[in-house]
Amino acid sequence: MTCEITREPIRVDELYQKVVRREAGAVTLFVGTVRELTHGKRTLFLEYEAYEAMALKKLEQIAAEMGERWPGVQTAITHRIGRLDISDIAVAIAVSSPHRPEAYEANRYAIERIKEIVPIWKKEHWEDGEEWVGNQQGTKEYLDGKPGEEELDE
């Protein structure tokens, strides 16, 4: 399966194996992990929730968009949900392509898109509280567009 929502730990090597092939000369992986400090505040753990059926559809849509924009790339995306501790992998994106520029660009596109259109939410748990996090600019539909440059900094 190209895309997956899972409750189990994500294994980087498994994603890699999904996309490597004889035609590929480059594979890029993005691994999003639970960071301990955000704006100086110490995270204890995160909780991810998904509208699973739709989230999976949206991940597959992103993979399809990538294939249109960068013909020749092959993509695998896995997002984990449930409780995640510091350094656990929340999301992993693997992209293979014959040459490296597309492998980098398509991979970056995937994570920006995930942060726009995939119905997954995270709840921060700190020592002194908890909160569901929303993105800064609201979920975007982008029926046909590409993500803007404004959100390259989370």
> Which tokens go with 31?
């691994």
Q: Which one of other proteins, a copy of itself, none is in contact with 116 (Cβ closer than 5 to 8 A by kind)?
A: other proteins
12-20, 37-45, 66-74, 132-140 -> range binding other proteins (CB under 8 A):
132-140
* Strand spans (E) along 3-104: 3-6, 26-33, 37-38, 41-50, 74-80, 82-85, 89-97
Nearest of 88, 93, 82, 86 to residue 115 by alpha carbon: 93
Question: How far apart are the C-alpha atoms of 59 and 56, rounded to whole Å?
Answer: 5
Smallest gap from residue 65 Cβ to a copy of itself (A)? 18
Shortest gap between Cβ of 17 and a copy of itself (angstroms)?
9
DSSP H or E run through 5: strand 3-6
- Given a contact cutoff of 8 angstroms between Cβ atoms, the answer to whether 133 and 46 are in contact is no
Contact between 123 and other proteins per CB under 8 A: yes
By CB under 8 A, tell whether 121 contacts other proteins: yes
Interface stretch with a copy of itself, choices 29-37, 64-72, 73-81, 122-130 (CB under 8 A): 29-37
Query: In one letter, which amino acid is 102?
Result: E
Decide which of a copy of itself, other proteins, none touches 1; Cβ closer than 5 to 8 Å per partner kind: none
Tell whether residue 125 is a contact of other proteins (CB under 8 A): no
Answer yes or no: are the C-beta atoms of 24 and 75 closer than 8 Å. Answer: no
Interface contacts to other proteins, rule CB under 8 A: 32, 48-51, 53-55, 57, 79, 90-91, 111, 114-123, 132-135, 137-139, 141, 143, 154
